[in-house]
Amino acid sequence: MTVRKKALDAYTAVIDDGGYSNLVINKIINDSQFSSEDRALFTEIVYGSISRKLTLEYYLRPFIKTKLKRWQRHLLIVSIYQLEFLDKIPSYAVINEAVEIAKEGGGKQDGNKINAILRSYLREEKQKISDIKNDKKRLSIQYSMPLWIVDHLMRHYSIHEVENILNELLKRPNMYVRVNRKLTSRDELLEKFSREGITALKSDIHENAIIVKGGGITDSNLYREGLFGIQDASSMCVNYALDPSGNELILDACSAPGGKGFHALENMDGHVDFSDIFEHKLTLIDNESKRLKHTNLNILLKDATTDSYDKIYDKIIVDAPCSGLGVVKRKPEIKYNLKKEDIDSLVDIQLSILHHVKEFLKPGGILVYSTCTIHQMENENVAYTFKKQSDDIEFGEFEIPHFKFKGNHRQILPHEFNTDGFFIAKFKKL
C-alpha cells in the first residue's frame, strides 16, 4: 500500500470515524515500513489535509459537477492539498496515484472521474479567497477555522490579532521537552542530546524547557532513562504560578497525562497526588512516573466534581477539561468536532471542579487553574466567575519572566511565542 493510500486511510479514520489524528498517524507509522522520507510525507499529507480541510473544500467545490461518494471526496481533498501546498511533488505524480487509488476503490469509471476533476482543477482558474467580502467568512475559509470560532475570536481581538492566531494554528508545533531535574540539569541534557545526534536548544520560556528538532525523540536512550518529559513550554508556565517548594503536599486534580504534577515533583522535595476520573489514564500516569523514576506520589481514581480527597493540600492544580482550541496545531480535528453549545457544558464542569477541590485546600493555600484553550468563556470568564462566587478565594500574583508578565492570570496566545495556546490563573484561599 502506497504512502498516499495510507494517508487517505488516516484522513478517513479521523474525519469519518472520530479517530485522534496523532494516534491514527502513529499507529500507521508503527505498522508500516516507511523510510524517513515516506514517514515525513505521510505525516505532512494527513496533518495538512485535516488542518486545511475547509480551505480545500472551498477550492474543490466548483469542480464537483456530479454526485461523489464520500471516499472520493476525501481522495480529492488529500490530492488537492498536495497540489496546492507541496511544491516538491509533481502534479502528474499526485494525479496518477489518485487515479490508481480510485480504480482500486471503485473501478475504471471512478478512476476516470477523479482524473477529470483533478485535471480540470489544474487547468481552470480557482475561486479566490480574497474575493470573499465578509471578513469572518474569509478568515474561516482562509485559515480553515469554523465560523463560530472566528466569530468568538473577533469579539475579543482585533482582526490583525485574529489572523495571527489563526495563521499560527495552521503551523506544525515546536517539540518541547521538560528537563527532569531530579536526574539531570538542562545543560547536561543538552550535551547528551548532542552526543546522540539530536538537535536541541534552550527555550527562554521556562528554565526547564528545551526545544528539540526532528522526530524519534521517544526512541532515544535518554527518553528511556527518564531524563525528560514531553510538555509544551506554555504548559510548563503553570509551575511559575504554582511555585512548588520544600515538602509541600500538592494535588493535581485532573492530572492525565501528568506533566504539571511531575514538573512540581521535579522542583521540590514534597509529594503529589495525581487524580483523574478515567482509569485508563491513571495507567498512563503510572507508567510515566516509573519512567521518570518519581516515587513521592499517589495515583487516585477520583471525580474532581464530587469525590472526597480525605486530606488537606498546600497547593492544588486544576488543569481542567476544556475545548482544546489552544492545541489545534497538534490535534487539528478538534476545531471541526467542537460545537458552540459544548462551551457552556465545559464552563459548568470547570466551575464545578474549582468549587469542589477548593474545599481540600488549606487556608492560605494556592490553587492554579489552567486550560489549553483560547476561548474566553473557559478562561477569564471562569476565573472571574469562580472568584465572584467564592467568599474564601482571592486572586494570587505570579510572574512569567520571559513574557515580562506579572499579574493574576495570563492568556498565552499561540503566535506570541510559538507555543500552544494556554491560560493560567492563580488563586489564594483566605
Provide the annotated active-site residues.
372
Residue 363 is assigned to a ligand binding site: no
- Phi/psi at 127 (5° precision): -70, 140
Distances (CA, A) of 266 to 118, 160, 206: 54, 39, 14
Q: Are 32 and 6 within 8 A, CB to CB? A: yes
Residue 135 is assigned to a ligand binding site: no
Beta bridge partners of 395: 427
Q: Which ranges constitute the DSSP H helices of 68-213?
A: 70-85, 91-106, 108-123, 135-142, 147-156, 159-168, 186-195
The residue written with cell numbers 523514576 in the block is 293
The residue written with cell numbers 496533518 in the block is 47
Residue 260 is assigned to a ligand binding site: yes
CA 32/CA 29 separation, integer angstroms: 5
Q: Which ranges constitute the DSSP H helices of 157-249?
A: 159-168, 186-195, 221-224, 233-236, 238-242
Give the number of other CB atoms < 10 A from CB of residue 120.
Answer: 12
Radius of gyration of the chain (CA): 23
Residue 110 is assigned to a ligand binding site: no
Q: Are 52 and 144 within 8 A, CB to CB? A: yes
Distances (CA, A) of 40 to 19, 37, 92, 219: 20, 5, 20, 16
Residue 259 is assigned to a ligand binding site: yes
Distances (CA, A) of 290 to 178, 183, 229, 268, 297: 16, 13, 12, 18, 11
Residue 31 is assigned to a ligand binding site: no
Name the grid cell of 222: 535518554
Name the grid cell of 340: 458552540
Element (H, E) at 355: helix 342-357
Q: Are 138 and 129 within 8 A, CB to CB? A: yes
Q: What sign for the dihedral angle of Cα 1, 3, 121, 50?
A: positive
Name the grid cell of 151: 466569530
Residues in the chain: 430
- Buried/exposed code over 170-193 (b: 16+ C-beta within 10 A; e: otherwise): beebbebbbbbbbbbebeebbebb
The amino acid present at 271, given as its one-letter code, is H
Query: Which residues are annotated as part of the binding site?
Result: 254-260, 276, 303, 319
Query: Which residues are annotated as part of the binding site for S-adenosyl-L-methionine?
Result: 254-260, 276, 303, 319
